[in-house]
């Protein structure tokens, strides 16, 4: 069955997690970055407005310094993210240039949600970039915003940032690329009999029970933060598809309405059904 709403989508936010950008050996997944640049440039040429929210700065920083373990020290993590962000953007710029696609960078902090002026500034900048045919590449400004990195008040991650950006620009669809095919009724990396959800229409406590934490040694958000992202989208009747970042070319099939991954959308009761 075709996902009819998605066929109407024009403004797409794509969020890619660390596990799709950093290989298990800690090296950068160059082929995934190249494929992402190709697919996003291609759909941009076809008239879609595209925004990329990328994780991977800390992972890339570890790679640059030849470190294996993510340090516990917050300042060290901030330094790693600052080093890795440069590496990541250098690769993105090179790869997108191969497809004649211009990109830009925005590093956001929580103030785009907490302060209306900052939110307005970010929204204006993003709309101006999209109108110029640019693909904005966004990450959290990890060197400044440290809430998400192992603090007691840890609540941030790029899953939620993807949802916040989608809300900011009134995106038609958020495509969340992870290292798993979708949301399951339990962690499929632990339970062989886990079953995938094709559609989710409401984020319930029961569903939250099924979602666990990060799966890769570089990830931060886990499924819990993906459900939190969906809740932010549901506030504005926005939609999300969660799928595997190992099959980046499937983005084209997703926007063509094919049933890939887990589709998060609210079923709006029609008057006659109410
Ligand atoms: N119910 C679930 N369904 C799917 N994945 C789950 C579930 N519970 C926990 N996970 C874990 O969440 C991981 C994906 O989140 P994460 O590690 O943060 O990756 P990323 O942020 O790079 O997408 C999966 O690899 C899996 O191990
Ligand atoms: N800003 C951090 C994001 C960390 C994060 O949310 O990672 P992930 O759970 O892999 O999306 C980084 O770039 O490493």
Tell me the two tokens of residue 104: 């830009």
Model pLDDT, residue 153: 33
- pLDDT score, position 273: 53
How many CA atoms lie less than 13 Å away from 37 in the CB half-sphere? Answer: 24
Classify residue 106 as exposed, middle or buried by CB count within 10 Å of its CB (0-12, 13-18, 19+).
middle
Q: Which residues are annotated as a binding site?
A: 15, 55, 142, 158, 178-179, 220-226
C-alpha dist (Å) from residue 136 to 74, 200, 273: 27, 29, 41
* pLDDT of res. 121: 96
Does the beta carbon of 186 sit less than 6 angstroms from any atom of ligand 1?
Answer: yes
Work out which ligand 1 atom sits closest to the CA atom of 220.
Answer: 18
Tell me, what's the ipTM? Answer: 0.96
Helix (H, G, I), strand (E, B) or coil at 194: coil
CA neighbor of 112 nearest in space, from 171, 52, 55, 168: 168
CA–centroid distance, 17 to ligand 2, in Å, is: 6
Q: Which ligand is nearest to the CA of 206?
A: 1
CB atoms closer than 10 angstroms to residue 145? 18
Query: What pLDDT is stored for residue 145 in this prediction?
Result: 77
Please work out whether the CB of residue 215 comes within 6 Å of at least one atom of ligand 1: yes
Give nearest CA residue, ligand 1 atom 24: 215
Give, in order, the Cα–Cα distances in Å from 60 to each of 27, 39, 85, 258: 8, 22, 7, 33
How many angstroms separate the alpha carbon of residue 200 from the centre of ligand 1?
Answer: 16
At residue 215, the 3 state secondary structure works out as coil
Handedness of CA 29, 30, 34, 40 (dihedral sign): positive
> Quick one: angle between helices 116-131 and 158-168, nearest 10?
80
State in Å: Cα 272 to ligand 2 middle: 44
Q: In what order do the strands lie in the sheet with 103-108?
A: 103-108, 135-140, 49-54, 11-16, 173-178, 240-244, 262-264, 199-200
CA of 14 to the centre of ligand 2 (A): 14
Report whether residue 184 contacts ligand 1, using a CB cutoff of 6 Å.
yes
Say how many Å lie between the CA of residue 167 and the centre of ligand 2: 19
Predicted confidence pLDDT, tens digits, the chain (274 residues):
669 999 999 999 999 999 999 999 999 999 999 999 999 999 999 999 999 999 999 999 999 999 999 999 989 999 999 999 999 999 999 999 999 999 999 999 888 888 899 999 999 999 999 999 999 999 999 888 765 455 433 336 899 999 999 999 999 999 999 999 999 999 999 999 999 999 999 999 999 988 866 555 555 557 999 999 999 999 999 999 999 999 999 999 999 999 999 999 998 766 555 5
Ligand 2 atom with the shortest distance to the CA of 156: 6
Q: How far apart are CA 105 and CA 92, in angstroms?
A: 10
Q: What is the DSSP letter of 273?
A: G
pLDDT at 174: 98
pLDDT for res 115: 87
What's the pTM? Answer: 0.93
Tell me if 221 CB under 6 Å of ligand 1. Answer: yes
Q: Which ligand is located closest to the Cα atom of residue 226?
A: 1
Q: Which ligand is nearest to the CA of 178?
A: 1
> Could you tell me whether strands 262-264 and 199-200 are parallel, antiparallel, or unpaired per DSSP bridges?
parallel
Give the mutation target among 157, 161, 215, 242 for probing the ligand 2 site: most ligand atoms within 8 A of CB: 157
β-sheet bridge partners, residue 108: 140
The ligand that comes nearest to the alpha carbon of residue 160 is 2
State if residue 59 touches ligand 1 by the CB under 6 angstroms criterion.
Answer: no
């Amino acid at each position: 069955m075709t996902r009819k709403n998605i066929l109407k989508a024009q403004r797409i936010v794509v969020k890619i997690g660390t596990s799709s950008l950093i290989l298990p050996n800690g090296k950068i997944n160059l082929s995934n970055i190249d494929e992402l640049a190709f697919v996003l440039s291609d759909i941009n040429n076809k008239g879609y407005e595209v925004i990329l929210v990328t994780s991977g700065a800390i992972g890339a920083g570890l790679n640059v310094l030849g470190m294996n373990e993510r340090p516990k020290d917050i300042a060290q993590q901030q330094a790693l993210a600052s080093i890795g962000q440069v590496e990541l953007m250098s690769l993105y710029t090179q790869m997108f240039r191969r497809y004649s696609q211009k990109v830009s960078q925005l590093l956001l902090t929580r103030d785009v949600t907490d302060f209306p002026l900052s939110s307005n500034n970010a929204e204006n900048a993003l709309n101006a970039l999209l109108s110029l045919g640019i693909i904005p590449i966004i990450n959290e400004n990890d060197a400044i915003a440290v809430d998400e990195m192992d603090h007691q008040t840890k609540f941030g991650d790029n899953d939620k940032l993807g949802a916040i950006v989608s809300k900011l620009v009134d995106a038609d669809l958020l495509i969340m690329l992870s290292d798993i095919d979708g949301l399951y009724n339990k962690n499929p990396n632990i339970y062989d009999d886990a079953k995938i959800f094709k559609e989710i229409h409401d984020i319930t406590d029961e569903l939250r029970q099924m979602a666990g934490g990060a799966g890769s040694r570089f990830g931060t958000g886990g499924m819990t933060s993906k459900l939190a992202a969906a809740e932010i989208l549901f506030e504005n009747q926005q939609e999300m598809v969660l799928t595997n970042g190992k099959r980046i070319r499937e983005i084209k099939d997703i926007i063509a309405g094919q049933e890939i991954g887990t589709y998060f959308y609210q079923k709006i009761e029609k008057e006659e059904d109410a």
